[in-house]
Amino acid sequence: MENFLQEKLTERQRENSLRELHQYQEGLADFFSNDYLSFAQSICHKQKIQQLLDAHPNYKNGATGSRLISGNTKFAEELEQKIADFHQAEAVLIFNSGYDANVGLLSSIAQRGDTIICDELIHASLIDGARLSLANRYTFAHNDLRALEEKLKQSKGNIFVVTESVFSMDGDCAPLLELSELTEKYKANLIVDEAHALGVFGKYGEGLTQHLNLQHKVFARIYTFGKALGCHGAAVVGSTLLRQYLINFARSFIYTTALPYHALACIAVGYEEITKTSERALLLENIRLFTRLTSRKENTVMPSASAIQSILVPGNEACKKLATQLQKSGFNVKAILSPTVAKGKERLRICLHAHNTKAEIYELTSQLNINHD
């Protein structure tokens, strides 16, 4: 077995795609985290979270068990209802992470004889959830409605179409309006992962589905809290019936220790603060500035109106080299390599935030040799 492990790692080394852990470097400009609204570093948030902790001194440090045994609380259920109200849905079920939510939902909801059709660029957690189900599985070319319709014509049983509102690597948006019309035509159920849209799109950061007023045409939405909310956990948003089903059949919910009270307090503060527009206004200004400064590099900068801006640098070696140069120049920018993305589509994934200064954005684009005014 040791030989097999070493052989697989050596293969990654040869492809210059070996993953390693690196400690966070202090003092570099943050263009790599998912902390879009800067909530994770907010002193105000820390103070409000501490106030919630002080207000509930009887809650334990840990949840002590799954929510079906000893880990459920009144606070958790009240928080779920507040999140449901915010997202204009009947009910919410909180999971320990976005990965757990996606795997739990897709692996349990689709049965043998059903069909799951996924955009080819959806997140690995959605792919894994679909694989764990017994349903027939198809993918369709990214955001290609014609390709999707061809798969819908071949589908049987209960049909689930899975996409992301904002794609985590490219930063582009799904055509949700057209997807909702197409799924309605074929009586399919639309599932939308809103991880990278929460806090960014919508009047109050509700996400892209509500921004387009499509919340009642989507079977299930997944909101991940580790991005703009700056904390941890996730929620599946949908009907009361769906919530009850997941409590009974989603294994990643049933067989795991619940989130502790501290984590729930962080989520609660995040949702309380998300309605305030100051951080989102700063973020949107920075997105507009970056896209203006990079508009002349259409062949390398992938089109995006989100906080995720990707610059194509084909080849793992070339991409890693440029990322290293930027880090030495004071910018925390990460290279995204194959096999995480397709070969030839390696890129610098630049994340923009409310806390990025205009000077940092000008200097970063200059370092990238991008001409601007």
pLDDT digits (tens, 9 = 90+) for 114-172: 999 999 999 999 999 999 999 999 999 999 999 999 999 999 999 999 999 999 999 99
Domain residue limits, the chain: 22-37+277-367, 44-273
pLDDT digits (tens, 9 = 90+) for 19-31: 888 887 788 999 9
pLDDT category of residue 299 using cuts at 50, 70 and 90: low
For 290-315, the three-class secondary structure string (H helix, E strand, C coil) is HHHHCCCCCCCECCCCCCEEEEECCC
> Which pLDDT does position 295 carry in this prediction?
80
Give the CA count within 13 Å in the CB-facing half-sphere of 47: 4
> Which pLDDT does position 15 carry in this prediction?
86
pLDDT(296) > 80: no
Query: Region 288-317: what's the mean pLDDT?
Result: 89
Tokens coding 87: 């997202």
Percent of the chain at pLDDT above 70? 98
| CATH entry, 44-273, from 3.40.640.10, 3.40.50.740, 3.40.50.720, 3.40.50.2300 | 3.40.640.10
Residue with tokens 């897709």: 106
Whole-model pTM: value is 0.94
Integer Rg of the chain from CA: 21
For 78-103, the three-class secondary structure string (H helix, E strand, C coil) is HHHHHHHHHCCCCEEEEECCHHHHHH
pLDDT digits (tens, 9 = 90+) for 86-112: 999 999 999 999 999 999 999 999 999
pLDDT category of residue 3 using cuts at 50, 70 and 90: very high
> Which pLDDT does position 368 carry in this prediction?
84
pLDDT category of residue 372 using cuts at 50, 70 and 90: very low
> Which pLDDT does position 72 carry in this prediction?
97
pLDDT(315) > 60: yes
pLDDT(358) > 90: yes
Closest CA relative to residue 196, chosen from 161, 175, 223, 214: 223
Query: Region 177-187: what's the mean pLDDT?
Result: 98
> Which pLDDT does position 209 carry in this prediction?
98
pLDDT category of residue 298 using cuts at 50, 70 and 90: low
pLDDT digits (tens, 9 = 90+) for 339-357: 889 999 999 999 999 999 9
> Which pLDDT does position 371 carry in this prediction?
37
Percent of the chain at pLDDT above 90? 87
Domains 22-37+277-367 and 44-273 equal at CATH topology level: no
CATH dotted code for 22-37+277-367:
3.90.1150.10
Query: Region 5-19: what's the mean pLDDT?
Result: 89
pLDDT digits (tens, 9 = 90+) for 225-277: 999 999 999 999 999 999 999 999 999 999 999 999 999 999 999 999 998 87
